[in-house]
A = this chain, B = another copy of it.
């Protein structure tokens, strides 16, 4: 089992990437890694080179670059080379903490789509933060691979999200919901009304109806599907508000004098639990579902621990044959469609 790693992607690359990969390597004797990057930078960081090989690359795609152009021009970049290794069967999965758009483009244009899937969906595993709930996380897609979607894309996201919840998160008969502007069946614009009916009529889904953006983290479903535009807006608003709250508390403590300082010190364990509960890095990165191999991107600000968790997530996907299951479903789906016509 070999993972192609972009060693140069992320705010603290290659340091934290190498450190995280070494942690994961020590956990799983069956894992091998190819680190794509600048040998001069990467080599000195490696503590132990067991099951760990450097593949030299001479270019880096920076965070601000226009993705598709960068992929086409920088043929010897760590992202393009690592994705190419997966395409050619020299690795089983591709991982990066770099430029999201470039990773998406490399996944789509180099690794390639599963037959029968029109658009891959960027999939985040998000926390459920409802006090008292047993559920700790849910699957949320498409969080932004596609700004414009067709109704059938969302049906495909629902199936792919269901496979992920079932196999990787081990949820039996996962509840699938649609992000919409109201809970009732007749809510939404014409697009979302149509998607609602498609999801409801699918015999392969345990569809539980609509969920509103305000209830995203409340554990109302195991999989929440949406067009990439809306899911992205709701996710960013959620993350932005959470960050803002943390800033307001910090600022409030600063302005509140000794009383607030002491209060914050006493509340520290409780606030830390909240921060951990809200943290997404425990669950790994965002997976581009619908490709011929696992392609996973983590936050650019990930630390070694988050990198390690993402490798664990990739290993789980490979262990349960997530891709093969998806391929089987959609090739059967295509045969059904042919019979229908």
User: Could you say how many copies of this chain the assembly holds?
Assistant: 2
Which parts of A256-298 form the interface with B (CB within 8 Å)? Answer: 256, 259-260, 262-271, 273-274, 277-278
Name the residue among A148, A188, A266 with the largest chain B CB count within 10 angstroms. A266
How many angstroms from the CA of A316 to the CA of B274 in the assembled complex?
41
Q: A245-B242, A252-B273, A271-B252 are in contact. Are A213 and B236 (CB under 8 A)?
A: yes
Q: Please name all residues of chain B whose beta carbon is closer than 8 Å to the beta carbon of A212 when the two chains form the complex.
A: 236, 240
Listed stretches A54-62, A226-234, A304-312, A317-325; interface member: A226-234
A234-B213, A251-B131 known; A270-B266 Cβ under 8 A: no
Known contacts A234-B213, A248-B129; is-contact A147 B267 (Cβ 8 Å): no
A214 within 8 A of B: yes
Determine which of B148, B252, B262, B277 lies in contact with A189 in the assembled complex, contact meaning CB atoms within 8 Å.
B148
Contact between B256 and A270, CB atoms less than 8 A apart:
yes
Residues B233 and A237 in contact, CB atoms below 8 Å apart = yes
Q: Known: A181-B229, A236-B213. Contact between A267 and B270, CB under 8 A? A: no
Cβ-defined contact, A213 with B229, below 8 A = no
Q: Which residue of B lies closest to A190 (CB)?
A: B148
- Chain A positions near chain B (C-beta within 8 angstroms): 129-132, 144, 147-148, 179, 181, 188-190, 212-218, 229-230, 232-245, 247-249, 251-253, 255-256, 259-260, 262-271, 273-274, 277-278
Complex A-B: 28 CB contacts under 8 Å: A129-B248, A130-B244, A131-B251, A147-B181, A179-B233, A212-B240, A213-B233, A213-B237, A214-B239, A217-B241, A218-B240, A230-B230, A233-B233, A233-B237, A235-B237, A238-B238, A241-B241, A241-B245, A248-B274, A252-B267, A253-B267, A256-B267, A259-B269, A262-B266, A263-B264, A263-B266, A264-B267, A266-B266
